[in-house]
Structure 1
Amino acid sequence: MIKKTVLLLVILALASCSSSKPAIATTKKAAAVQARTASVKRNTPAKPIGKNYPSTNNTTEVIQSTSKTVVTSDLVNSYILQYKDIAMGNMQKYGIPASIILAQGILESGAGKGDLAVDANNHFGIKCHKDWLGESVRHDDDAEQECFRKYKEASESYRDHALFLVGKKRYESLFTYEKDDYKAWAKGLRACGYATDPNYPDKLISYIERYNLHQYDCQITGKNYVAINKTAPPRKSSYDVNSDPKINLDSNDPNLYEVQKGDTLYSISKKFNLLVDDLKQKNNLTDNAISIGQRLKVK
């Protein structure tokens, strides 16, 4: 009887030890699951505690031209490095500031990532016009499916941009400004009708000063480049609309009219007994867009 009791206690002790061991997979599938679980636990890195990671200065912005493009400052800098030599070559040959060429390229092409730049190598948003005999693409802009010039290479777009400004009579006044006066050129482009956006000059100037594009003008003119100091008073441009002999902006000048809220070209033309087309021609306007405070020649 005692032997049976002892044997029973030994069996119970062995059973208790067996139940405390971890479960062992009895099928291949279960074994694979166990192996993956163990691997995940071993390979999962510990979460960093109080870790400070370096921040980046690669800022992002949206460029709205013929298409809406999201770009980073790194992308813009890469674009500048890619086309600065072409821009400086065009400045030397045609007299257009390299800074203006690059700023327009950034803005009009979305730093090379806009639809027209990708589909047609068109970096300046130049439309076909009547004298264009090359390839073209259709793209929605001021109107649906407008005709834009298409180039085999981006460099052809840069050359055509220079020829476009040099060859069009309405841009003649631009070439009376100093070759490196980017502020005069930025304002002059808008005044001559290159763009209808009233903020176009400010956008160009912003790109030039943010990305130090004026240094490429100085490389051509031989002048010392001084980086823009944001705390210093702005440098006065040699272009002054109030002293430009072509545009007398005296508030008492009977030949000028300041656009008021609610004005249209049609209402202004009626007020001064003019045809809309005559009013547009007097002011080098290519469409009917006007802005409040804008001065128009009416006589």
Structure 2
Amino acid sequence: MSHSKPARNPDAALTLVNGFSLEMTGKDVPGLEEARNAIPAGTKINVTFLGNEDLEMRISAAKAVREMGFIPVPHISARRLSSQSQLEDFLGRLHDVGASEHVFAVGGDPAEPEGPYPDSLSVIRSGLLSQYGVREVSIAGYPEGHPDIDDDVLWRHLDDKSAALKEQGLQAVILTQFGFDTEPVMTWIKNVRARGIDTQIRVGTPGPAGVKRLLGFARRFGIGANAMIVKKYGFSLTNLMGTAGPDTFVSDLASLLSQEPTAGEVSLHFYTFGGLKATADWANEYTTDRS
């Protein structure tokens, strides 16, 4: 396998970074306030659905995103929902604050579902989303696989979710788990397109953050973080006190995409482990340097 560096392509890199989306938790509203002037108006900002957040926190974060001029994409964590009425309550509250048009339906962490939804497909098939004004649903993609789910199951679910959304007349976006290596991402994108799925893909990668923190998240999510890969990403395992940004990953991915005619619509989604402002500042600097 060749590991030569793809040729740099500044135009492709600009296209890839423009229209990026971001991730925040329910507790990150102060961070969003601090970063708001660095983030382009109309940017999609995903709001997580973590076990240590409650309904009020999720709703107020989604509302804050909208009020600051961005597009909220609240997460719906299927396995964390204890009942249909909890799902309806959440969707109803999102609708009340104007934050229900875009959602991200994901399975979620708990080993055992807390209610009737074992996976995001069951939430989509409930038919409830469009009743509360949802128009676009993001679904998860796993270029490097999932530590607890076989690849054939992941592919079948991607096919089934894509088909279910199409049947309901809902727009779809595929949002990937974060990775450090562009090669499995490109292989996976080609496989998605070969299955006849032409949905927009948002490739997840971490914004700038401390190396130790990045490796911690990688281990937690089962992402490949061996020495060769992290070197390609642009940080060193011998300097765990340093920080790393996605410059190399983004430039390499842009070059690979520009050489792949079947890639379709691909943009970036930043996991903001190092903070919203640091990530937005990085994106501004990256695009300015290439404009």
Higher relative contact order (CA 8 A, sep 6+): 2
TM-score range normalised by the length of the shorter chain: under 0.3
Q: Higher strand fraction: Structure 1 or Structure 2?
A: 2
> Higher Cα Rg: structure 1 or 2?
1
TM-score normalised to structure 1 length: 0.25
